[in-house]
Amino acid sequence: KAGVTQTPRYLIKTRGQQVTLSCSPISGHRSVSWYQQTPGQGLQFLFEYFSETQRNKGNFPGRFSGRQFSNSRSEMNVSTLELGDSALYLCASSSSGGTTDTQYFGPGTRLTVL
Amino acid sequence: GQQVMQIPQYQHVQEGEDFTTYCNSSTTLSNIQWYKQRPGGHPVFLIQLVKSGEVKKQKRLTFQFGEAKKNSSLHISATQTTDVGTYFCAGFQGGSEKLVFGKGTKLTVNP
């Protein structure tokens, strides 16, 4: 099976712009979770989607949003970018998103905000 | 807020030495997962522990889950240069379905 794929792999944006990141889960996986990874804060949970519905949400401002399509592909959007949004954004897929499911991470999108 | 603390933050060892990282949660965990992230890579799932007091081994790696399900450890015996990376623990706290990660332990191995 192909692994989790994320596009683009690298992005450079300026403050105030908005950005959309894409994640394609492993075939058959219906749960997609998004994480932000920074050197200072580590890996932080953004949100989880299952069957096109946001099922769980972390403690991030409303500028961070996401959605999931019927084929389980997911996108996350960050509006009005701030310098502090520079990070590695990782998505992870699992079959059903249950607490005992294994999460498979994609390679991430490295976002730099100038 | 909910936290999963992981120590040490960094560990430098000589090849052949042992290595241990510890994970502590402020609340009970339904399970604990361990991941490894190589430099420039993404987290890769290593193992999951579910039962109180559970111990699992993978070759030179030994994983333990505490009796109270609030702490865990990963022990690597006779480290090799291929063990280099950051090891993260992660768990679901108190019935939550949000996976909370420790900040990781970065392991470097001198040949």
pLDDT at B78 > cutoff 70: yes
CA atoms within 13 A on the CB side of B34: 30
pLDDT in tens, A60-104: 999 999 999 999 999 999 999 999 999 999 999 999 877 778 899
Asked if the Cβ–Cβ distance from A100 to B100 is below 8 Å, we say no
Average pLDDT of chain B is 94
- What is the pLDDT, as a whole number, of residue A51? 92
Asked if the Cβ–Cβ distance from A100 to B45 is below 8 Å, we say no
SS (HEC) of B71-90:
EEEEEECCCCHHHCEEEEEE
B38-48 average pLDDT score: 95
Give the nearest chain B residue to A102 (CA atoms): B45
Asked if the Cβ–Cβ distance from B99 to A103 is below 8 Å, we say yes
Closest CA to B90 of B65, B58, B57, B55: B65
Q: What percent of chain A has pLDDT over 90?
A: 87
A41-70 b/e with 16+ CB inside 10 Å = b?
A: ebbbbbbbbbeeeeebebebeeebbbebee
Q: Does B10 touch chain A (CB under 8 A)?
A: no
Q: Which of A85-94, B57-66, B97-106 has the lowest mean pLDDT?
A: B97-106
- What is the pLDDT, as a whole number, of residue A52? 94
Q: Does B100 touch chain A (CB under 8 A)?
A: yes
Contact list, B48 vs chain A (CB under 8 Å)? 100, 102
Other beta carbons within 10 Å of A88: 16
Mutation pick from A6, A31, A43, A56 vs chain B, by most beta carbons of B within 10 Å, is: A43
